[in-house]
Chains A and B, each alone.
Chain A
Amino acid sequence: MKRGFYARLAWTGIRNNRRLYLPYLLSAILMVAVVYIDLALSHSKPLYQMPGGRTATTVLGFGFAVLALFAAIFLFYAGSFLIRRRKREFGLYNILGMGKFNLGRILIWETVLTFLISSAVGLLAGIAFSKLAELVLLNLIHGKVDFTFQIPLESIGITLGVFALIFALLLIFQLIQVAKAKPVDLMRSESTGEKPPKANWVLGLGGALLLGAAYWIAVSIQDPLAAMNWFFIAVIMVILATYLLLIAGSVLLCRILQRSKRYYYKPEHFVSVSSMAYRMKRNGAGLASICILVTMVLVMISVTACMYFGEEDALRAAQPYDITLEVSYVLSPGEEDVYAQRLHELVQPAAEAAGSISNVQEYHRSSLPSVLVDGYIPVNQDEIYDAREAGYPDCLLLLMDLPGYNATYGKDVALDAGEALMYCDNSAFSNSSLKVGEQPYAIREVLKENPARIPYDMGQVVTITLVVPDLAERDLEITRAQKEQEDYARLTWHYSFDSDAASEAQSQLRADLEDLLLNLEDFPLDFLMTSCQADERTELFASYGGLFFLGILLSVVFLVAAVLIIYYKQVCEGYEDQARFGIMQNVGMTRSEIRRSINSQMRTVFFVPLGLAVLHLAFAFPMLRKMLLLFQINNLPLLIATALVSVALYALFYALVYRATANAYYSIVSGARESR
């Protein structure tokens, strides 16, 4: 009987506060479901065994940490909000003779009930939707769909454990809150009148300046690697600036508007401007949090979508042909290069056996990382070191043989000794001659495209490619000079082609060729690289698809968080505004005037975070673009499209939520009339 008493009190407490509790429960349920789905997929064996499945499950495993952390922060926010709203009720119990100990028991029961309901319903929902989520993920990573259905017990256990921990911490936090409060405080109502918010010029202008600086960084950074580093600094600046602007800047703006008598004393501005100052003082921090959440969602979803849909671009840039072989071998000085012919005779028949081949690229290359000193590229290590210290830019010198160039590109160029064709990806450099070590080259022609791209070139350093008459004899000197201590030179034989074989057969072909090359006898093999576009595609889809999926999951969670914060704000405001609008009606404001004023204030409170988030996204754009370049994605229209679609979807969703919560607000505010 006695035990049932506390449980019943707790249950009544939840039911009587359902306007606040129901959204809290619903979002806790959603958090549980999302965490479970993420865990279930990252522990899924069939998924793991799939091509690319390992990458995808790793990404999801990382996502679990982010989701759990966020769920904790978010439930704490909502929980502390609830306990604040309920202090009055607890105060009443306290005056009716319940000690802190008894209140604690009610709280414990409430938490237990919340935990049981949210984890039970959340897990059921998670299990019900996990197959759907799996299908979506498989579709994204282009995996094969199977129709088995499994419930990994391990995932259920971890999910329950994580949320039990979160709720336990939350309970301790709430118990401390109740223990600290005095009964008088618990009962006191807030009708003492509130101080008007002061305009703080330092913080308001500081926020504006900080935001300006962050935007300037975002727009002015040119180098992709620098963009990566500065991005996090800019993000922190933007977060700080958002808080400052919405907390202090908004009040400042209202105060400035109030100074203009012509503007302020107009029916449509008078009430709105003065109440906005108060509203922003109370809500600035919450709105800033919403704005940052929204920005995160928008950046996350547009970037991951852009990576996912730009996958082919990245693939083509890194790996332009179906199969690529790079065989490096060493030659002693004066040794005749008989190996190229051997490689050709070995590889070509094997490749043709799998299917007809086209777009063959076959050439020799030798590479030298060095420094570009105007028209001179040193080859001696000490010299390179000194030049680098002196601040000359790093460069990568590639030498390509003329016969390979002619054969690959169907050209018929003839070069004299000491002549070369040049490509340089820094268009500023267009000398008519170039000296490499002791060897001067006269540049016959400047090429527009790099004839000898190396795979996975990130484009961080200047690449210079020289097409020279004969690698084997003349230019061995260069590579030899590079390795002064050792008496040999290194050459790379590049062979890439497209094949009309099916992708599984291509994958097999790559493995066969690798076997063949590794098992060559009497061959001075130094280094072997083989790659197959089909395999790469699977991997890229797995990682980008996994990221995109995670982006969607996180967006859903962030969205729900933002919605709940907004909803709580509205409810709170509603209770506080009730009396205010009652007075206005007595003074002679018409219902429609009141409604219009509420509308404009609500719209501002609602859409300021969205507008600011879109502005943040717009300024983050150049930086996001630069960072995507590191992933070989250089597709501006795609990025614009994904960003626009994300913003549009988000705005639509936001508008729907606005309508729903505005109704809750109106019903509270108009309750003022009936209760008089």
Chain B
Amino acid sequence: MSLLEVSGLKKVYTTRFGGSSVEALRNVNFSVEQGEYVAIMGESGSGKTTLLNLLAALDRPTAGQVLLNGRDLSQIKDSELALFRRENLGFVFQEFNLLDTFSLEDNIYLPLVLSGESHAEMARRIEPIARQLGLSELLKKYPYELSGGQKQRGAVARAIITGPQILLADEPTGALDSKATDELLRLFAELNREGQTILMVTHSVKAASHASRVLFIKDGEVFHQLYRGEATNEQLYARISDALTILTTGGEAV
């Protein structure tokens, strides 16, 4: 059984008075296996973010279902959703989304505090993660004192400290310079090698070229997918570029 199964997913947005409706996702089907590193690509407005919101149960699908470990997200009660997200999903966003009222350390602790962990347990868990992400010296600092790359690594630490089933990343390199981007992608690959399942939405070819599989979305459907196989990052990069060219010039699915 796959870790994440998406079948027949459809999302239609209607304006408040039902005047006009926009079909953001038409019919999306795919699955993610335990330990995979999947990138989802598409142009702006192709429905990437809508898809991610549905996967994160931040929004409800119009039709179709999302199964995580065989559990249908749409069957989870509203009151349990936040708890479910906290225990099973980790999030990394383009805009980092650190709270500026907390020090970096407290930002990383946030999900654990909400779960009622003791301070000793939290301190035990943060130690290896901070070392791996190169944050050990920065924990007492506040977000306004940190660079973009440091903030994003902090956000990754916050996402993985709960040991989530799947790490969801929404354009994680979108607000980073190239050096910080390389560093973050290296970290993602490293986390993935250690067994962390990652699903990343991006339109950066470079970011996608680090994944083990790339899905392309166009007009609300999965249009195409690429497997890394034995390819290097550079080779995958070239193949993604080719696929995107076909995608934008209007070719048919291969």
Name A's B-contacting residues (CB within 8 A): 192-196, 261-262, 265-267, 270, 274-275, 277-278, 580, 583-593, 676
Complex Cα gap A590–B78 (Å): 9
Chain A residues, Cβ within 8 Å of B143: 193
Chain A residues, Cβ within 8 Å of B98: 583
Chain A residues, Cβ within 8 Å of B223: none
Chain B residues, Cβ within 8 Å of A277: 101
* Complex interface bits, B106-145 against A, C-beta within 8 A gives 1, otherwise 0: 1001110111111100100000000000000000001110
| Interface contact A590-B83, CB-CB below 8 Å | yes
| Interface contact B113-A194, CB-CB below 8 Å | no
* Complex interface bits, B75-86 against A, C-beta within 8 A gives 1, otherwise 0: 000110111011
Pull 18 A–B residue pairs with CB atoms less than 8 Å apart, ordered by A.
Answer: A192-B144, A194-B100, A196-B103, A265-B113, A265-B119, A274-B102, A275-B101, A585-B82, A586-B85, A586-B97, A587-B111, A587-B114, A588-B82, A588-B114, A590-B81, A591-B78, A593-B114, A676-B58
Q: Looking at chain B, what size class is its interface with the partner chain?
A: 35 or more
| Interface contact A194-B99, CB-CB below 8 Å | no
| Interface contact A278-B101, CB-CB below 8 Å | yes
Complex Cα gap A533–B201 (Å): 89
Chain B residues, Cβ within 8 Å of A587: 86, 91, 97, 110-111, 114, 158
Chain B residues, Cβ within 8 Å of A590: 79, 81-83
Chain A nearest CB: distance from B16 CB in Å?
A: 10
Complex Cα gap A588–B158 (Å): 11
- From known contacts A193-B143, A270-B110, A588-B86, infer whether A583 and B101 are also in contact, taking CB-CB under 8 Å: no
> Which A residue's beta carbon lies closest to that of B49?
A676
Complex Cα gap A278–B56 (Å): 30
* Complex interface bits, B51-73 against A, C-beta within 8 A gives 1, otherwise 0: 00100101000000000000000
Chain A residues, Cβ within 8 Å of B109: 265, 270
Residue from the set A192, A270, A275, A586 with the largest chain B CB neighbour count within 10 Å: A586
Checking B79, B111, B144 against A194 with a beta-carbon cut-off of 8 angstroms, the contacting residue is B144
| Interface contact A193-B144, CB-CB below 8 Å | yes
Complex Cα gap A590–B100 (Å): 20
Chain B residues, Cβ within 8 Å of A585: 58, 82
> Which B residue's beta carbon lies closest to that of A594?
B82
Q: B188 interface residue, CB < 8 Å from A?
A: no
Q: B216 interface residue, CB < 8 Å from A?
A: no
| Interface contact A593-B82, CB-CB below 8 Å | yes
Complex Cα gap A257–B119 (Å): 15
Given contacts A265-B118, A589-B114, 13 further A-B contacts (CB under 8 A): A194-B100, A195-B144, A270-B113, A580-B99, A583-B99, A584-B110, A586-B85, A587-B97, A588-B114, A591-B79, A592-B79, A593-B82, A593-B114
> Which B residue's beta carbon lies closest to that of A258?
B106
Chain A nearest CB: distance from B150 CB in Å?
A: 13
| Interface contact B119-A261, CB-CB below 8 Å | yes
> Which B residue's beta carbon lies closest to that of A194?
B100
Residue from the set B83, B102, B110 with the largest chain A CB neighbour count within 10 Å: B110
Chain A residues, Cβ within 8 Å of B81: 590
Chain A nearest CB: distance from B180 CB in Å?
A: 17
| Interface contact B113-A589, CB-CB below 8 Å | no
Name B's A-contacting residues (CB within 8 A): 53, 56, 58, 78-79, 81-83, 85-87, 89, 91, 93, 97-103, 106, 109-111, 113-119, 122, 142-144, 158
Checking A194, A265, A580 against B122 with a beta-carbon cut-off of 8 angstroms, the contacting residue is A265
Chain B residues, Cβ within 8 Å of A591: 78-79, 82
Chain A nearest CB: distance from B138 CB in Å?
A: 15
Chain A nearest CB: distance from B251 CB in Å?
A: 33
Chain B residues, Cβ within 8 Å of A275: 101
Chain A residues, Cβ within 8 Å of B111: 587-588
| Interface contact B93-A586, CB-CB below 8 Å | yes
Chain B nearest CB: distance from A602 CB in Å?
A: 16
| Interface contact A583-B97, CB-CB below 8 Å | yes
> Which A residue's beta carbon lies closest to that of B113?
A270
Chain A nearest CB: distance from B83 CB in Å?
A: 6
Chain B nearest CB: distance from A276 CB in Å?
A: 9
Complex Cα gap A277–B101 (Å): 8
Complex Cα gap A588–B161 (Å): 13
| Interface contact A267-B113, CB-CB below 8 Å | yes
> Which A residue's beta carbon lies closest to that of B120?
A261
Chain B residues, Cβ within 8 Å of A195: 142, 144
| Interface contact A267-B116, CB-CB below 8 Å | yes
Complex Cα gap A196–B143 (Å): 10
> Which B residue's beta carbon lies closest to that of A278?
B101
> Which A residue's beta carbon lies closest to that of B97?
A583
The 4 closest A-B pairs by CB, nearest first: A588-B86, A193-B144, A590-B82, A583-B97
Chain B nearest CB: distance from A218 CB in Å?
A: 37
Checking B83, B102, B122 against A588 with a beta-carbon cut-off of 8 angstroms, the contacting residue is B83
Chain B nearest CB: distance from A111 CB in Å?
A: 35
Chain A nearest CB: distance from B181 CB in Å?
A: 21
Chain A nearest CB: distance from B107 CB in Å?
A: 9
> Which A residue's beta carbon lies closest to that of B84?
A588
Chain A residues, Cβ within 8 Å of B53: 676
- From known contacts A194-B144, A593-B114, infer whether A580 and B82 are also in contact, taking CB-CB under 8 Å: no
